[in-house]
Amino acid sequence: MRVLVTGGAGFIGSHVVDALRARGHEAVVYDVRADPGADVRNPEAVARALVGVDAVCHQAAMVGLGDGVADAAEYVSRNDLGTAVLLAGMAAAGVRRLVLAGSMVVYGEGRYECPRDGVVRPGPREVADLEAGRFEPGCPLCGRELAPRLVSEEAAVDPRNVYATTKLTQEHLAAAWARSTGGAAVSLRYHNVYGPRMPRDTPYAGVASFFLSALARGEAPRVFEDGRQRRDFVHVRDVATANATALEASGPTAGTLAVYNTGSGEVHTVGEMARTLASAYGGPAPVTTGQYRLGDVRHITADSSRLRAELGWKPEVTFEEGMREFAAGEPGGG
């Protein structure tokens, strides 16, 4: 299969390219980092790139928290206009298979249960609570302490920042494309992806990269809030394999968008990750700051059982193994 990989020179995209080629596919890189003219917002360039292509793996995006609105136009342009141009080009070229890099950020806060009211959905945390160090969201009905649970694909979406909103819009556009063309689309809702080639020292790097950069400078990683935020850290090679598996699968049904959580299935706290990474690197122990970022959610962890059951994918890199490799900066120049 000849697969166009947008963002194929980036962190996750380059691993997708590796995974596809290892499985005998022809992966074509389309990325402004490799060619300044390879912008998904450029209809002519997209049309040329789609010639002879069987499927598209769409990884290109502007990433980051997107917690303000000053850069909203840039996020929408790169993520949503870019996706629209790409899908229009696919429709014209007769390409009918798409795998989209989705994100867990579309859920907002994770799933919570109240001992009195059952499953509830807390709203955004109040600044006054965050300032006072009250980081756990309470039950919106009775105020009681909540127990975090895994999020399934059936959970209501609640994007709480600009980036999250653009990622959800990408899914809506992909669903519209599938219905219009009879194409088959998959969105893999990535959780916290880390590993070799992860961007360093940029505003758009992930938390694991920030911690590793601090360790490389001989500084202690600075952990926000109390470090007890629950996340699912999934290795980039496992994410790349999920993309290849989704491209090769006989499903989804034509004319539909299938959505899959893509996580390791292991729940770890941000503080635990920082300690594990610092220990593997041999650097200073993390410092918990009590600081916070508006737009951050408290807990978000995935139920990835649907991806395992329907497509037969499973993660192979354990948390400890992945953190040791990431700390060592190899293979692949982490």
- Within 10 Å of residue 60's Cβ, how many Cβ atoms? 26
CA distance 51 to 317: 36
- For residue 28, pLDDT beyond 80: yes
- For residue 96, pLDDT beyond 80: yes
Give how far Cα 129 sits from Cα of 121, 151, 158, 225, 291, Å. 17, 24, 21, 11, 12
Give how far Cα 164 sits from Cα of 63, 101, 141, 197, 292, Å. 9, 12, 26, 23, 18
The strand ranges marked E within 138-211 are: 147-149, 184-190, 192-194
In degrees, rounded to 5, the angle at the alpha carbon of residue 126 between the alpha carbons of residues 269 and 124 is 65
pTM over 0.75: yes
- pLDDT tens by residue, 107-144: 988 999 999 999 999 988 999 999 999 999 999 999 99
- pLDDT tens by residue, 65-85: 666 788 999 999 999 999 999
**Spatial CB neighbours of 57, under 8 Å, sequence gap ≥ 6:** 3, 4, 5, 6, 8, 13, 16, 20, 98, 99, 243, 247
Give how far Cα 183 sits from Cα of 94, 99, 176, Å. 9, 11, 10
CA distance 234 to 319: 8
CA distance 41 to 130: 39
Q: What percent of the chain has pLDDT over 90?
A: 87
- For residue 194, pLDDT beyond 60: yes
